[in-house]
Structure 1
């Protein structure tokens, strides 16, 4: 349990700092002129060294996430990953000069308090492994993320940002569940992990390139925490310590709500993204 919590917090730190580095790199990239899902945005951003440094941190964070998901309930890991926005907010305040007001500092404290409650209440990783139906279901869900992106990319303004952000969150959620289900190279869950992570990567990049950063990031946080947590509890046997379920629910709610308050820092400190390029997603598989 201790190893899992340390790994989850390590992932949050890596993802949070990576957000700021990627924001600096992506803002220097040449802007695109299209709309919806921009498949060339990533190539432009990859030309920036600071952006690549952010990707390196993302890779380290993903390694920590894998360790955490193998040792802790999905609901605890998901809340910890959402808390990467608290790290991003603090890092953006120091590196990008983004100002945090009292409400946002309170949100950082709320996230930390929620994670502390989860750490006290979380039980071990559930011993359920899911059946073939769940494995194929994760692959179908990963494909559905692409469909969400295709539809959301045609919507206007905030609706587009929210739809793409939610789709990205669902993709990251697929990754969280699939990690627990992979049982070999032929497992559908392995391909769900790769497809879901790649689709989430693209959708969030496109969401943040044009539209409301706050809307997109908040939708992502909801998509990547609530659904996977339910799957972990209902299908994989994730539980809390005996008698600690209300504390776990409170901790999860506080961590996620605090992250939602800090959603504007999902882009490294900017409140809104106009037609200029956006940062890469908070993490990548």
Structure 2
């Protein structure tokens, strides 16, 4: 659980840095998913710093997924938005409303309930059908990006965000299914394709649409599906008689995270990199000092 929460801290800090890097990159032409955008974003130091934090968070996530049910880790990762909100309020001096501070408390309460109710990770081995289905889902994320990138601006961010969430969900399940290095196992390719596609879609969504909408879509995509797979196919369980508590904790943690989705939006900065205002459309006042 400590690793899951530490992973959430890393991802929460990384999301703001990556969003700032994506917005600072030279925009491409057209409305679709911009494959070259990743290369341009990698020239931004903030994006690179975000990737470094993501790498650390991913290692911690792997440790957590090997010892905890997927639904617990997924909810903890969604809680990274609460981490981002707190960082923004302290370091960027972004004002949080009472509703948002309440949402932070709700996320923490939901995680506490999950920690009390969670049982051990399931010990079922994934079937061959599940492994191949996971690879198909990873390829489907790429196709969803192609389709979503052609949509009008308003639904585009939601579809790309959902696609990114599905890709990160593929990674969560793949980590559970991997048992040693075997490149004949389709799960390895699902991990690589799903993770790569998720980063590509999320980067495009951060630059080309509403980051709040994209982040909310990603939270839904990476929590609900993997949690169901963990319970139904991999045998994740709760402590005896506490299933209702786990469901309640999961639901309120995700709901609180969705309330904080606007904190995927980067703050506005001037030419020197100094924060001059909260993210566009957030409703927060300008940063002081």
Q: What TM-score, normalized to structure 2?
A: 0.89
Alignment map for 1:23-38 (pairs within 5 Å): 23-38=19-34
The alignment status of 1:99 with 2:103, answered yes or no, reads no
Q: How many residues align?
A: 269
Compute the displacement of 1:51 (Å).
Answer: 2.2
Alignment map for 1:180-191 (pairs within 5 Å): 180-183=176-179, 184-191=182-189
Compute the displacement of 1:31 (Å).
Answer: 2.7
The alignment status of 1:63 with 2:59, answered yes or no, reads yes
Q: Which residue of 1 aligns with 2:115?
A: 119
CA contact (8 A) 1:36 1:160 kept: no
Q: Which residue of 2 aligns with 1:8?
A: 4
Q: 176-185 or 20-29, which moves further after superposition?
A: 20-29
Compute the displacement of 1:91 (Å).
Answer: 1.2
Compute the displacement of 1:93 (Å).
Answer: 2.1
Match of 2:196 among 192, 195, 198: 198
Q: Which residue of 1 aligns with 2:285?
A: none
Q: Which residue of 1 aligns with 2:258?
A: 260
Partners of 1:25 and 1:210 lie apart in 2 by 13
Q: 22-31 or 141-150, which moves further after superposition?
A: 22-31
Match of 2:41 among 30, 38, 45: 45
Q: Which residue of 2 aligns with 1:248?
A: 246
Q: Which residue of 2 aligns with 1:228?
A: 226
Compute the displacement of 1:54 (Å).
Answer: 1.4
Q: Which residue of 2 aligns with 1:143?
A: 139
Q: Which residue of 1 aligns with 2:173?
A: 177
- Unpaired stretches in structure 2, ≥5 consecutive residues: 268-278, 283-289
User: 1:133-157: per-residue Cα shift (whole Å, max 9, x none)?
Assistant: 0001100000010111111111002
Compute the displacement of 1:267 (Å).
Answer: 2.8
Partners of 2:261 and 2:207 lie apart in 1 by 15
The alignment status of 1:78 with 2:74, answered yes or no, reads yes
CA contact (8 A) 1:175 1:196 kept: yes
Gap change, CA 1:8 and 1:56, over 3 Å in 2: same
Partners of 2:251 and 2:219 lie apart in 1 by 12
CA RMSD of aligned residues (A): 1.4
CA contact (8 A) 1:20 1:91 kept: no
User: 1:223-265: per-residue Cα shift (whole Å, max 9, x none)?
Assistant: 1100100000000000000011011001000110000000111
What SS does structure 1 have at the residue aligned with 2:95?
A: coil
Q: Which residue of 1 aligns with 2:274?
A: none
The alignment status of 1:109 with 2:133, answered yes or no, reads no
Larger radius of gyration: 2
CA contact (8 A) 2:22 2:207 kept: no
- Unpaired stretches in structure 1, ≥5 consecutive residues: 274-285
Q: What TM-score, normalized to structure 1?
A: 0.91
Alignment map for 1:150-161 (pairs within 5 Å): 150-161=146-157
Compute the displacement of 1:185 (Å).
Answer: 2.8
Compute the displacement of 1:213 (Å).
Answer: 1.2
Partners of 2:260 and 2:36 lie apart in 1 by 28
CA contact (8 A) 1:265 1:271 kept: no
